[in-house]
């Protein structure tokens, strides 16, 4: 008899066919198992609409984080951002159940701390503890679910302030939280973020480090699962045998012809089994 399983899944980005193949490979059961999907559910892939419908249909068995592409979809829907030429979300916007799906999306979470793991889409600033991360994520969630969603989304875009201060308030406070949780790859030792560089760890600009490499990071004692950074891939986590600086990167570049990956948790001590399906490089995704 199969026992309950817990899975983390990296960036799906509208790749529904690989998602369904991965769920079959996992023998996933919504009545028994739980998925933690680490953000970027939509965009760049061919079928964001089917991904949203599929994950929504799983109810509480699919606990989904919001990534930068998911937030951008909400911004496009509210007329605050024009679609980029590489965006593939028009099918969602044209769907008869668009409003239902986007209302479900805005009620997803920005961070999760369960089963001994902290989960985010992109990263955690080195000055934030797990408790502070969850509290700040909650502030953004409240804004997303509140009556002035358009106002929040309008103020969400921008790279400044680049650094967290406890005294930040209003739009700037929420923007820094969103940028850290959904966009960050590199930062300085004192937490100033940089957003232009998208390569691997060796491409860090002078004075910057991968966020998980910052000495004294307050979440260093807690395993952190994240997506967003496809240049890392899950291969950096010792092929599934261990963690990278006590973090597990799970964006393995499905939308770019890589793999869609899940990590099945073995226990709360950071041990996991990595399970992947190959994605189809022949699909013509926008560049």
pLDDT digits (tens, 9 = 90+) for 249-271: 999 999 999 999 999 998 666 67
- Mean of pLDDT values over 225-244: 71
pLDDT at 240 over 50: no
> Residue 134 and residue 3: Cα distance in Å, rounded?
29
Convert the pLDDT of each residue in 66-108 to its tens digit. 999 999 999 999 999 888 889 999 999 999 999 999 999 999 9
Q: pLDDT: is 234 or 78 the higher one?
A: 78
What pLDDT does residue 239 have?
Answer: 43
Tell me the whole-structure pTM to 2 decimals. 0.94
- Mean of pLDDT values over 27-33: 97
pLDDT at 62 over 60: yes
What pLDDT does residue 1 have?
Answer: 52
What pLDDT does residue 266 have?
Answer: 80
Closest among 279, 284, 266 to 4, alpha carbons compared: 266
- Mean of pLDDT values over 43-57: 97
What pLDDT does residue 287 have?
Answer: 31
Angle at alpha carbon of residue 201, lines to 199 and 205, rounded to 5°: 75
pLDDT grade for 285, boundaries at 50, 70 and 90: very low
CB atoms within 10 A of CB 231: 16
pLDDT at 281 over 70: no
> Residue 123 and residue 127: Cα distance in Å, rounded?
12
Convert the pLDDT of each residue in 106-148 to its tens digit. 999 999 999 999 999 999 999 999 999 999 999 999 999 999 9
> Residue 1 and residue 179: Cα distance in Å, rounded?
43
Burial of 7 (0-12, 13-18, 19+ CB in 10 A): buried
Which DSSP string do the residues of 86-136 spell out, in sequence order? T---HHHHHSTTHHHHHHHHHTSBS-EEETTEEE-SS---TT--HHHHHHH
What pLDDT does residue 286 have?
Answer: 39
Convert the pLDDT of each residue in 179-231 to its tens digit. 999 999 999 999 999 999 999 999 999 999 999 999 999 999 999 999 999 99
- Mean of pLDDT values over 154-175: 97
What pLDDT does residue 54 have?
Answer: 98
Hey, what are 280's tokens? 């189809």
Judged by DSSP in three states, 234 sits in helix
Q: Half-sphere exposure (CA, 13 Å, Cβ side) for 244?
A: 20
Q: Is there a contact between 260 and 1 (Cβ–Cβ < 8 Å)?
A: no
Q: Is there a contact between 265 and 119 (Cβ–Cβ < 8 Å)?
A: no
* Neighbouring-strand partners of residue 63: 36
Domains of the chain in start order, with CATH, are 6-278 (3.60.21.10)
> Residue 73 and residue 258: Cα distance in Å, rounded?
23
What pLDDT does residue 238 have?
Answer: 39
pLDDT grade for 46, boundaries at 50, 70 and 90: very high
Mean pLDDT of the chain: 92
What pLDDT does residue 271 have?
Answer: 78
Judged by DSSP in three states, 65 sits in strand
């Amino acid at each position: 008899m199969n026992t309950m399983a817990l899975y983390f899944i990296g960036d799906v980005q509208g790749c529904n066919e690989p998602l369904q193949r991965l769920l079959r490979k996992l023998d996933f059961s919504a009545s028994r198992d739980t998925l933690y999907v680490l953000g970027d559910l939509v965009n760049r892939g061919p079928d964001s609409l089917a991904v949203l419908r599929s994950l929504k249909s799983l109810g509480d068995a699919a606990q989904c984080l919001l990534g930068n592409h998911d937030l951008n979809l909400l911004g496009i829907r509210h007329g605050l951002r024009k679609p980029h030429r590489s965006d593939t979300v028009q099918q969602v916007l044209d769907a008869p159940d668009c409003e239902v799906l986007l209302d479900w999306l805005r009620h997803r979470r920005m961070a999760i701390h369960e089963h001994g793991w902290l989960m985010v889409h992109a990263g955690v600033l080195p000055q934030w503890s797990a408790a502070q991360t969850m509290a700040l994520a909650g502030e953004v969630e409240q804004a997303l679910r509140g009556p002035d969603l358009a106002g929040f989304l309008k103020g969400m875009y921008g790279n400044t302030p680049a650094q967290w201060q406890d005294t930040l308030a209003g739009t700037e406070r929420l923007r820094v939280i969103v940028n850290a949780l959904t966009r960050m790859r590199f930062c300085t030792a004192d937490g100033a973020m940089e957003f232009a560089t998208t390569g691997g760890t060796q491409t860090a600009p002078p004075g910057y480090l991968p966020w998980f490499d910052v000495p004294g990071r307050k979440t260093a004692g807690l395993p952190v699962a994240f997506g967003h950074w496809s240049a890392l891939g899950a291969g950096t986590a010792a092929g599934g045998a261990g963690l990278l600086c006590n973090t597990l990167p799970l964006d393995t570049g499905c939308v770019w012809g890589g793999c869609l990956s899940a990590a099945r948790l073995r226990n709360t001590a950071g041990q996991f089994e990595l399970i992947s399906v190959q994605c189809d490089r022949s699909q013509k995704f926008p560049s």
